[in-house]
Amino acid sequence: MALGIQHLLGLYDVSRSDIELILDTADSFYEVLQREIKLVPTLRGKTIVNLFYESSTRTRISFELAEKRLSGSPINFSSTGSSVTKGETLKDTIRNIAAMKIDMVVVRHNAAGVPLFLTKCTDAIIVNAGDGFHEHPTQALLDMLTIRQHFGKLEGLKVAIIGDILHSRVARSDAWGMKTMGMNVTLCGPQTLMPLHTESLGVRITDNMGEAMEGADVVMLLRLQLERQQSGLFPSIREYRENYGLDLDKLLTLPEHTVIMHPGPINRGIELASNVADCGRSIILDQVTNGVAVRMAVLYLLGGGEPGGHEDV
Ligand code: NCD
């Protein structure tokens, strides 16, 4: 069984069996990453361009590490310092890169829909590393891998995703992917930071943090995306922190088994108190570790690798 998708643009229409295949493959790459030599030859000879039009720390390093650990040849592009600053269009940039015979493009852009657009401009395989407010599928996959590793399952678990839902591509990818996997998802934030037509996400919505966290197995905080906001979406940082930030007092109201997640970067002291981010119930750094294994799985499977095949090479 191979993946039913040719590119990874989002999780909106990715099937449960495809998500399972990616997570199972990521589990075996996770094992590879525990070895002393963390290298497999499966993408040898393949060139991957990391096309980043927006800033990134985790996602970018994680993709590059994944590509190198699969023995691929990554090329890094960032819009600053490129001909984008001379006015070159996205289409021209990608056609010029494609003319140099690349196999895969990992793209991050502040406009929703750019990864889909690129599939029309080149024959290369496209992987979305975050497009505007739209989707961030590898983040949601690594979130699910981390939850599955911790609880041994996904089906039936309760997840509360709290914060700036409006600007969060992570919330959308998580909502779609987790729903597909039979998880029980609640999105929570102030009404001014909720997208319109939330019913299309098909998950529970509330503006009450206590209600969202009731009985949750996982509480995921999202960054308040100050750079994407016009002013006036919430009265003050202090009020936001009181109503939607997780501090030690609120942590103590949660069941003992509940774990804390955050996609990073964290606004310490706003959505997450520092002592909660670093406490024993936080699995935030496991998310980061798992990011490499998930991205290895995605690149491997999209690149034509057979499920389980890398174990024999
Ligand atoms: C997120 C992103 O860029 O969408 N970060 C990430 O990739 N880990 C979330 C954010 O910027 O807040």
Distance 309 CA to ligand 1 centre (A): 31
Strands 125-131 and 204-206: unpaired
Residue 59 alpha carbon to ligand 1 centre in Å: 8
Residue 49 — left, alpha, or beta (φ > 0 → left; ψ -120 to 50 → alpha)?
beta
Question: Can you give the pTM of this predicted structure?
Answer: 0.95
Query: Does the CB atom of residue 228 touch ligand 1 within 6 A?
Result: no
Predicted local distance difference test score (pLDDT) of residue 290? 98
Show pLDDT as tens, one digit a residue, over the chain (313 residues).
689 999 999 999 999 999 999 999 999 999 999 999 888 999 999 999 999 999 899 999 999 999 999 999 999 988 877 777 788 898 898 888 888 889 999 999 999 999 999 999 999 999 999 999 999 999 999 999 999 999 999 999 999 999 999 999 999 999 999 999 999 999 999 999 999 888 888 899 999 999 999 999 999 999 998 777 666 677 788 999 999 999 999 999 999 999 999 999 999 999 999 999 999 999 999 999 999 999 999 999 999 876 666 654 4
Handedness of CA 299, 301, 306, 309 (dihedral sign): positive
DSSP string, 207-225: S-HHHHHTT-SEEEE----
What is the residue whose two structure tokens read 């290298």? 39
Instruction: Give the contacts of 82 (CB within 8 A, at least 6 positions apart).
Output: 88, 93
- The reported pLDDT for the residue numbered 302 is 96
Domains of the chain: 16-135+289-302 (3.40.50.1370), 137-287 (3.40.50.1370)
CA of 158 to the centre of ligand 1 (A): 22
CA of 108 to the centre of ligand 1 (A): 11
Q: Assess whether the C-beta atom of 163 lies below 6 angstroms from ligand 1.
A: no
Q: Quick check: CB of 47 below 6 Å from ligand 1? A: no
Contact 302, 67 (CB under 8 A): no
Residue 137 Cβ inside 6 Å of ligand 1? The answer reads no
Contact indicator for 221, 283 with CB cutoff of 8 Å: no
